[in-house]
Structure 1
């Protein structure tokens, strides 16, 4: 899956990618293929679903350092900014100086 946030699913895992296309983090927890992935409106949670009939809500504050993710580039947070009620205001962090 290559989503706008540079996160995807691959078989039984959810993978987060840096903007330079290097793997940042792999999230494990499924016994079968992952088929769906979405970010919460506040950007703190990823919801994923698997054909093993389970869904996992990944708490990004616990799974990884969101500030570190943000530092890798705004492409990672496009989905977050689009869905967050304050997204238009917060997009200023992604504008060139």
Structure 2
């Protein structure tokens, strides 16, 4: 996977084969963010994918 940050930094990430499917990749990302989002609930409101119950998807009708 390749990502680009706001400052133009390009990073190439090794992704486990099992995470290649989009839904699994999104779920893993939400799990990584869970502690942060628990202490910053206003940030969770901005997202359309990471639901409080750990689900992934557009759960807010957006």
TM-score using structure 1 length = 0.26
Structure with more of its chain in helix, by fraction: 2
